[in-house]
């Protein structure tokens, strides 16, 4: 960014702050944009603004400059890889699928509970949503080329209703088996100095 773009950036930062429910004091509203501008100055203004739009929809709290830089880097990689992608030998994720997978990774594959009719009927409206692998009719996981990373990745979706209830039953069963197995002990490691026999 260049100095003449500071005003545009400062307005965007204040809007993001407002969108995420963070009220800035008078001192903060003057100092925060200057600090962020200095830290994000190496990047182009359009890249910074695009990252701000992404953060407005994915961040749970006001983002740090490192969060902006991470999103800018991912978006640049996505743009660059789209131009260089070879013809895939398997299905390619749509941009929406890839963006949702990126969002799910940022949220650690868990989202706020959902009050949709399916979740209400399945009585999981109080449990966090889970991003789960998409499986075809034969039980095979759907793997597709992710245009953002240029890698084959597991495609997925947010589970709702009965599917989400089944996920929690399976998870609870797994934890129950783990608890039944009891604590594990590991052999102690003996360290020796060089030249010691043992």
The answer to whether residue 191 sits within a structural domain is: no
Is 28 domain-assigned? yes
8 and 58, same domain (yes or no)? yes
Residues 125 and 168 occupy one common structural domain? yes
Domain count within the chain: 2
Give yes or no for a contact between 100 and 93, defined as CB atoms under 8 angstroms apart.
Answer: no
Query: Domain for residue 65, yes or no?
Result: yes
One digit per residue, pLDDT tens: the chain, 198 residues?
A: 788 888 888 888 888 887 777 777 888 878 888 888 888 888 888 888 888 888 888 887 888 888 888 888 888 887 776 655 555 567 889 999 999 999 999 999 999 999 999 999 999 999 999 999 998 888 889 999 888 888 889 999 999 999 999 999 999 998 888 888 777 665 665 566 666 665
| Residue 18 is assigned to a structural domain of this protein | yes
Q: Which residue, of 84, 117, 136, is where some domain finishes?
A: 84
- 123 and 103 in one domain? yes
Distance between CA atoms of 32 and 153, rounded to whole angstroms?
A: 38
User: For residue 134, what are the domain limits?
Assistant: 93-181
189, part of any domain? no
**7 domain-assigned:** yes
**Dist. CA 46–CA 152, nearest whole Å:** 29
Domain identity same for 97 and 76: no
36, 58, 157, 192 from 164: Cα distances, Å: 40, 22, 11, 51
HEC letters along 149-198 = CCEEEECEEEECHHHHHHHHHHHHHHHHHHHHHCCCCCCCCCCCCCCCCC
Are 97 and 59 in the same domain? Answer: no
Same domain, 73 and 112: no
53 and 71 both lie in a single domain:
yes
Question: Can you give the pTM of this predicted structure?
Answer: 0.48
Residue 198: inside a domain, yes or no? no
Residue 192 falls within a domain, yes or no?
Answer: no
């Amino acid at each position: 960014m260049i100095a003449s773009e500071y005003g545009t950036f400062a307005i965007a930062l204040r809007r993001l702050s407002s969108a995420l429910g963070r009220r800035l004091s008078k001192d903060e509203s003057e100092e925060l944009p200057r600090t962020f501008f200095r830290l994000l100055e190496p990047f182009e203004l359009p890249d910074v603004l695009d990252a701000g739009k992404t953060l407005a929809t994915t961040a749970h709290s006001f983002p740090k400059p490192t969060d902006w830089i991470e999103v800018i880097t991912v978006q640049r990689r996505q743009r660059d890889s789209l131009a260089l992608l070879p013809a895939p030998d398997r299905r390619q994720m749509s941009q929406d699928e890839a963006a949702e997978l990126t969002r799910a990774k940022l949220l650690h594959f868990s989202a706020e509970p959902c009050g949709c009719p399916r979740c209400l009927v399945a009585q999981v409206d109080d449990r966090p949503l889970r991003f789960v692998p998409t499986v075809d009719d034969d039980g095979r996981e759907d793997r597709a080329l992710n245009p953002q990373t240029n890698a084959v990745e597991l495609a997925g979706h947010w589970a709702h209703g009965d599917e989400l209830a089944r996920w929690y039953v399976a998870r609870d069963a797994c934890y129950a088996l783990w608890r039944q197995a009891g604590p594990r002990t590991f052999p102690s490691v003996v360290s020796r100095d060089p030249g010691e026999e043992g």
